[in-house]
C-alpha cells in the first residue's frame, strides 16, 4: 500500500533471465530526486553505461511516477521513461499523460525498470503483486489500437491500462514511440525502438491498492480550492476550447511556425489550422487525463474524406505543425489522416513530420528523384504521398529505411546533411528558433536533442517583447530548464501549471508526503537533475561541439513575415548560458559546480 504518496517499491523485470523482483524505494529518494524524471536520471546514470548502443540489451527502460500520481492532486498524471536513445545517442526521457502512470501506482509501484532482452515476443502483465511475462505471439505485428483491444480481450477486463508499441517499435525504427491507452505517447527519442529491441510488445497494468497521503483532510481542502483557479485562468480556458492548437494563431502570425521544412516561418494556408477553426471544423468532444480539470485533449473526426472516415484523439499542436504545416499540408483531411497513421503505427509524430519534410525538400530540390522514392511524388502539400512515406518509415521500406535510422542519417546518406532540421539527431518542434532566440538555446542545449519542452520559453519571450534578442536569454532558459526538471519529476503537466503555481505545488508536496520541501531545495534538486543529465552525455563525449543548430537557423535570414531577417547568434547564446550554468566554455559542468551539487 502506498503511504505518504509513495508506494515505496519499484518493480524490476529482467527479460533475459525472466527474473522479477521488487526493490525498496524510500521517501528520501523522492525528496532528493523529486520523482519521475529525476529518478530516471538517477537510475540511468547508475545502471546504464552512456556508451552503449540504444538498441543493445544493456539498455533499460526506466519508468517512474512522481509522488502525486494516483492522488487527487489536479493535473498530475505524468509518468516518465528514461533510456539511452538510439536516435540521438544521448540520455533521453519522455513523459506520458493519461491514466497509465496512476494505474501503475494503484498496482503498488512507483516505478518499473525493464532490462535485458527476451528471445521471443512477450508482454508484461502487472496485476497488483502478480506479475507475469506472457507470450505476445498473437500481438506481434498488430497496430496500436488493435494491440490495446486484443490485450483487454485476452485479460478479460476493459479497465486495464496498456502501454505498447506498434509496428514501428517492433521494427526498431529510431523514431518509434511507446503509446499508452491508444492515444497518449511517450513520444520522443525512440523509446518504442528500445522496447522493440527487447521484444517487449506491451505492458498491461491493473491496480486496486490504496494511495494514502499524509494529510487527506488538508489535501481535499487544498484541491477544492485549486479547481476555481483553472476555471479563472485564461490560458487554461483557451486550452480547454481549442486544445494546444490555440497556439497556431500567435506563432504563425509572429512568423516562426515551421512551414515547409522550416524554409518559411508563416503562411496564409496555416491559418486554416487556427484553434478556433480546429474546434469548429473537426473537434467533437473533449478528453481529460487523470485528475485534470482542464481537459485540453480533443477527439477529432471527419466523417467523409478522400481516405474514408477519420477519427482520432488529437492532433495536438506539435503533431499538427510537424506533420502538417512543415510538410506543406493545407487541409484538415490530410492532417487528420497522417496523424492517425502515426498513432496506428506507433511513430513519434513530431520527428516523423521532421523526417517527411526533409524528404520533401530533398525531392523538390532534385536530391531525391522519383526513382529514389519508388514513384512517390514527395512534393510539399502532398498528403497522400506523406501517408505512404510514413508507412515506409515504419516498415523500413525504400527511403523509409533511411529515415527510420533518423533524419541526420538519411540526410547524410542522400548528400544533403544541411537539410535535416535537427539537433543531436532529433528534429525540432514547431517554433523556428529564428523567431524566439531563447528557443534556440533550449533546443541546442537540451540533453535529448531538439525538444521544446525542456524549456518552452517562447511564450515568455513573446510576452516580454524581446523574442529576437539573444541578451538575457541564458537566465530565462536556465530558470525554465530548472522549473521543468522539477515539474516533470513531480509529474505535473505543463498545461496544468496554468492554475497550479509553485507555492501550491509545495503545499501539495507537504500534504501528500508529510515532508516540507522548500522552494530552495526544490530548485537545488532540479539543478542537480539537469546537471546529471548533462554529465551523462559528457561521459559519452558530448560537449559544446554537439550543442548545435542547422545552418538554416544560424546563417539563412528568415525570408519574410514578422520574423523577417532574423538569424540565431548561437555562439553568443552558448557563451552566456554556460557561464550562467557554472559550466566551462566547452559546455562541461565544472568540478566546483558538480561538488556544490553533491555530484
Partner 1 sequence: MSKVLVADAKKCVGCRICEQWCSMSHFRTGNPKKSRITVTRSHEDYMDYPVVCRQCVDTPCIKACPTKIDALSKDENTGAIIVDEEKCIACKMCIKACPYNAIKVHPSEKYVLICDLCGGDPQCVKYCPENALYFLDREEADKLVAATKEDE
Sheet containing strand 111-115, edge to edge, reads 20-24, 9-14, 111-115, 61-64, 79-84, 91-96
Q: Which is nearer to partner 1, 55 or 182 (CB)?
A: 182
Binding mask of the shown chain, residues 63 to 82, with x at each position contacting partner 1 by CB under 8 A: -------xxx-x--------
User: For residue 445, what are the β-bridge partners?
Assistant: none
- Per-residue exposure over 242-263, b if at least 16 CB sit within 10 Å of its own CB, e if not: bbbbbbbbebbebbbbbbbbbb
3-state secondary structure of 353: helix
Q: Which is nearer to partner 1, 229 or 548 (CB)?
A: 229
Q: Which is nearer to partner 1, 151 or 257 (CB)?
A: 151
Q: How far apart, in whole angstroms, are the C-alpha atoms of residue 566 and residue 231? A: 38
**Number of alpha carbons in the 13 Å side-chain half-sphere of residue 92:** 32
213, 336, 389, 517: which one binds partner 1 (CB under 8 A) = 213
49, 135, 137, 224: which one binds partner 1 (CB under 8 A) = 224
Helix 216-232 crosses helix 234-242 at what angle (to 10 degrees)? 70
CB 220, min distance to partner 1, A: 6
272, 313, 386, 546: which one binds partner 1 (CB under 8 A) = 313
337 binds partner 1 (CB under 8 A): no
C-alpha distances in Å from residue 592, one per residue of 45, 46, 493, 537, 596: 20, 21, 33, 19, 6
Dihedral of alpha carbons 576, 577, 581, 586, sign: negative
130: CB partners within 8 A, 6+ apart: none
CB 163, min distance to partner 1, A: 14
CB 98, min distance to partner 1, A: 10
222 binds partner 1 (CB under 8 A): no
Q: Could you write out the DSSP letters of every residue in 144-184?
A: HHHHHHHHHHHHT-TT-EEEE--HHHHTT-TTB-EEETTTE
Q: Which is nearer to partner 1, 152 or 384 (CB)?
A: 152
| Cβ proximity of 230 and 499 under 8 Å | yes
345 binds partner 1 (CB under 8 A): no
67, 121, 293, 425: which one binds partner 1 (CB under 8 A) = 293
C-alpha distances in Å from residue 591, one per residue of 43, 169, 198, 390, 576: 22, 39, 37, 46, 19
Binding to partner 1 (CB under 8 A): which residues in 117-146? 145
3-state secondary structure of 66: coil
Binding to partner 1 (CB under 8 A): which residues in 155-174? 158-159
41, 81, 164, 291: which one binds partner 1 (CB under 8 A) = 291
47, 129, 153, 210: which one binds partner 1 (CB under 8 A) = 210
Stretch that binds partner 1, among 15-23, 177-185, 259-267, 379-387 (CB under 8 A): 177-185
CB 263, min distance to partner 1, A: 36
83 binds partner 1 (CB under 8 A): no
32, 58, 154, 212: which one binds partner 1 (CB under 8 A) = 212
99 binds partner 1 (CB under 8 A): yes
Q: Which is nearer to partner 1, 54 or 499 (CB)?
A: 499
220, 543, 559, 599: which one binds partner 1 (CB under 8 A) = 220
148 binds partner 1 (CB under 8 A): yes
Q: Which is nearer to partner 1, 1 or 463 (CB)?
A: 1
Instruction: For the beta carbon of residue 390, count every other beta carbon within 10 angstroms.
Output: 27
CB 148, min distance to partner 1, A: 6
Polymer length of the chain: 599
230, 380, 431, 530: which one binds partner 1 (CB under 8 A) = 230
158: CB partners within 8 A, 6+ apart: 152
C-alpha distances in Å from residue 118, one per residue of 44, 194, 201, 205, 206: 20, 12, 11, 19, 23
Q: Which is nearer to partner 1, 74 or 187 (CB)?
A: 74
Stretch that binds partner 1, among 16-24, 87-95, 119-127, 206-214 (CB under 8 A): 206-214
Dihedral of alpha carbons 522, 525, 531, 536, sign: negative
181 binds partner 1 (CB under 8 A): yes
239: CB partners within 8 A, 6+ apart: 246, 294, 296, 495, 498
| Cβ proximity of 310 and 325 under 8 Å | no
Stretch that binds partner 1, among 84-92, 293-301, 528-536, 542-550 (CB under 8 A): 293-301
> Which chain residues interact with partner 1 by CB under 8 A?
70-72, 74, 99, 106, 145, 148-149, 158-159, 181-183, 207-213, 216-217, 219-220, 224, 227, 230-231, 284-293, 295, 297, 299, 301, 311, 313
Amino acid at each position: 500500500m502506498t503511504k505518504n504518496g509513495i508506494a515505496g517499491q519499484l518493480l524490476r523485470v529482467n527479460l533475459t533471465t525472466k527474473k522479477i523482483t521488487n526493490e525498496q524505494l524510500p521517501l528520501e529518494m523522492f525528496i532528493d530526486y523529486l520523482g519521475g524524471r529525476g529518478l530516471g536520471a538517477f537510475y540511468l546514470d547508475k545502471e546504464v553505461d552512456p556508451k552503449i548502443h540504444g538498441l543493445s540489451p544493456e539498455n533499460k527502460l526506466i519508468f517512474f511516477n512522481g509522488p502525486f500520481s494516483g492522488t487527487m492532486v489536479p493535473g498530475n498524471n505524468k509518468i516518465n521513461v528514461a533510456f539511452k536513445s538510439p536516435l540521438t545517442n544521448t540520455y533521453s526521457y519522455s513523459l506520458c499523460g493519461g491514466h497509465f502512470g496512476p494505474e501503475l501506482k494503484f498496482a503498488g509501484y512507483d516505478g518499473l525498470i525493464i532490462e535485458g532482452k527476451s528471445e521471443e515476443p512477450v508482454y508484461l502483465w502487472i496485476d497488483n503483486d502478480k506479475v507475469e511475462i506472457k507470450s505476445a505471439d498473437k500481438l506481434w505485428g498488430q497496430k496500436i489500437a488493435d494491440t490495446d483491444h486484443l490485450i483487454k480481450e485476452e485479460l478479460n477486463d476493459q479497465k486495464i491500462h496498456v502501454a505498447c508499441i506498434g509496428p514501428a517499435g517492433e521494427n526498431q525504427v529510431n523514431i518509434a514511440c511507446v503509446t499508452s491507452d491508444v492515444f497518449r505517447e511517450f513520444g520522443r527519442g525512440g523509446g518504442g525502438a528500445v522496447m522493440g529491441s527487447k521484444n517487449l510488445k506491451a505492458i498491461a497494468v491493473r491496480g486496486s491498492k490504496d494511495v494514502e497521503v499524509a494529510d487527506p483532510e488538508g489535501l481535499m481542502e487544498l484541491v477544492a480550492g485549486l479547481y476555481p483557479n483553472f476555471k479563472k485562468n485564461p490560458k487554461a480556458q483557451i486550452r480547454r476550447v481549442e486544445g494546444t492548437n490555440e497556439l497556431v494563431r500567435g506563432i504563425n502570425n509572429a512568423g516562426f511556425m515551421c512551414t515547409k521544412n522550416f524554409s518559411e516561418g508563416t503562411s496564409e494556408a496555416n491559418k486554416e489550422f487556427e484553434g478556433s477553426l480546429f474546434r469548429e471544423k473537426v473537434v467533437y468532444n473533449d478528453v481529460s487525463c487523470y485528475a485534470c480539470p482542464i481537459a485540453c485533449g480533443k477527439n477529432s473526426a471527419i466523417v467523409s474524406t478522400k481516405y474514408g472516415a477519420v477519427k482520432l484523439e488529437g492532433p495536438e499542436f506539435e503533431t499538427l505543425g510537424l506533420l502538417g504545416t512543415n510538410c506543406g499540408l493545407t487541409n484538415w483531411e490530410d492532417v487528420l489522416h497522417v496523424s492517425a497513421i502515426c498513432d496506428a503505427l506507433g511513430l513519434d509524430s513530431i520527428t516523423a513530420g521532421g523526417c517527411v519534410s526533409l524528404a520533401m525538400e530533398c525531392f523538390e530540390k532534385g536530391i531525391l528523384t522519383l526513382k529514389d522514392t519508388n514513384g512517390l511524388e514527395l512534393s510539399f502539400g502532398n498528403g497522400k504521398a506523406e501517408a505512404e512515406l510514413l508507412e515506409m518509415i515504419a516498415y523500413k521500406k525504400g527511403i523509409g529505411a533511411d529515415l527510420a535510422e533518423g533524419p541526420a542519417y538519411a540526410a547524410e546518406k542522400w548528400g544533403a546533411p544541411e537539410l535535416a532540421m535537427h539537433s543531436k539527431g532529433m528534429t525540432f518542434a514547431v517554433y523556428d528558433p529564428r523567431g524566439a532566440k531563447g528557443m534556440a538555446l533550449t533546443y541546442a542545449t537540451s540533453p535529448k536533442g531538439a525538444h521544446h519542452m525542456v524549456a518552452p520559453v517562447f511564450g515568455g519571450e513573446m510576452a516580454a517583447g524581446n523574442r529576437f534578442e539573444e541578451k538575457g536569454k541564458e537566465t530565462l532558459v536556465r530558470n525554465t530548464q530548472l522549473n521543468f526538471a522539477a515539474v516533470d519529476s513531480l509529474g505535473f503537466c505543463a498545461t496544468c501549471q496554468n492554475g497550479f503555481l509553485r507555492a501550491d505545488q509545495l503545499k501539495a508536496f507537504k500534504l501528500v508526503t508529510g515532508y516540507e520541501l522548500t522552494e530552495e531545495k526544490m530548485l537545488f534538486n532540479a539543478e542537480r537533475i539537469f546537471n546529471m543529465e548533462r554529465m551523462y552525455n559528457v561521459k559519452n563525449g558530448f560537449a559544446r561541439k554537439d550543442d548545435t543548430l542547422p545552418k538554416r537557423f544560424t546563417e539563412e535570414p528568415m525570408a519574410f513575415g514578422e520574423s523577417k531577417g532574423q538569424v540565431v547568434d548561437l555562439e553568443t547564446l552558448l557563451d552566456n548560458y554556460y557561464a550562467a550554468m557554472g559550466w566551462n566554455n566547452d559546455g562541461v559542468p565544472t568540478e566546483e559546480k558538480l561538488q556544490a551539487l553533491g555530484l
